[in-house]
Amino acid sequence: MPNSDQLQRFIFEHSDIRGEILTLEKSYQRVLENGSYPLAIQYLIGQFLAAAGLLSATLKFDGVITLQAQGDGPLSLIMADCTRHHNLRAIAKFDTEHSYNETDKQQNDFSLADLIGKGTLTLTIDPSRGERYQGIVPLESPSLAKCLEDYFLRSEQLPTRIWLAAEPTPENAKASGLLLQALPSQLESTPEENQQLWEHTTQIAETITSEEQLSLNHEQQLYRLFHQDELRLFEPNPVQFFCSCSEGRFAKALTSMGHEELDDILKEQGIISISCEFCHQQYRFDENDIANLFGENPPTLH
């Protein structure tokens, strides 16, 4: 069976290794429909969406996990976020005058480092309750997967390997991700035995190709890699495109600008119109709306 827009957890029995595997189709296509992106950036958007989806499985509470890379290259910013309930969205900002040399290029020819330039990768965990956490690593590796592995090694001290693939074919875009992570030792194994098992597992996973990730379903991929291991695959969770924008959020942002500045905009334009960058939903605020934001309209008497 296909695994369109699904995330699945798996574990290796009798070992301290966990995994996540994910496939995106409609959710990825929705993001691409919301922007006119060069092919090189479409590939990276698929990888960022897949990575954010994989990492959302690590959230143990309601909240959002965000991946964002920014730098001085033609792709000034790219980000994707995913909630604990696996609602995804993404956006990229880029130089429209830049030539991205896309002709006859394959997925692996598009380097994150080349497009972002000198910059950083930021991982933010924003819980619905509690303190926000943010980790930042320099973009020292050419791919998003390697940058994330660097982050986990430096910040979380959890050996983690990630494989990402994307194919933004018109009308049939698809992205996939595979994550392996070594957990703190809970079994009666020596550190040497755990290390050997980790190296064995990741070496096998290293043989997966982008084509296989994009063409095989989850069970086929895992059987292809680990048919000699005892593995338990859990029920899939649905993943979908969803934008969290709302009139209330934009109203709060407007309030922070101050009444005087908003009045100047109203005098010039007659109305304040805002478009969400993620989904292009339009929000309009007139003079009465702005007055209500600052509590100036008296209650209506009945």
Superfamily of domain 6-241: Hsp33 domain (3.55.30.10)
pLDDT > 90: percent of the chain: 52
112, 106 contact by CB (below 8 A): no
Q: Say which range, 58-62, 113-117, 203-207, has the weakest mean pLDDT.
A: 58-62
pLDDT > 70: percent of the chain: 92
Q: What is the structure's pLDDT at 224?
A: 96
Between 2 and 265, the more confident residue is 265
Between 26 and 154, the more confident residue is 26
CATH architecture of the domain with range 247-293: Alpha-Beta Complex (3.90)
Average pLDDT of the segment spanning 116-144: 90
Between 216 and 60, the more confident residue is 216
Q: Distance (Å, rounded) from C-alpha 120 to C-alpha 36?
A: 24
**pLDDT classification of 104: cutoffs 50, 70, 90:** very low
Average pLDDT of the segment spanning 239-253: 84
Q: What is the structure's pLDDT at 108?
A: 47
**pLDDT classification of 213: cutoffs 50, 70, 90:** very high
86, 56 contact by CB (below 8 A): yes
Between 193 and 21, the more confident residue is 21
Q: Where are the beta strands (DSSP E) in 72-209?
A: 75-83, 87-94, 119-127, 133-138, 160-167, 174-182
Residue 64 has pLDDT above 90, yes or no: yes
Between 286 and 144, the more confident residue is 144
Tokens 């619905």 locate to 128
Residue spans of the domains in the chain: they are 6-241, 247-293
Residue 55 has pLDDT above 90, yes or no: yes
Q: Distance (Å, rounded) from C-alpha 151 to C-alpha 133?
A: 14
Residue 35 has pLDDT above 90, yes or no: no
Residue 302 has pLDDT above 50, yes or no: no
48, 67 contact by CB (below 8 A): yes
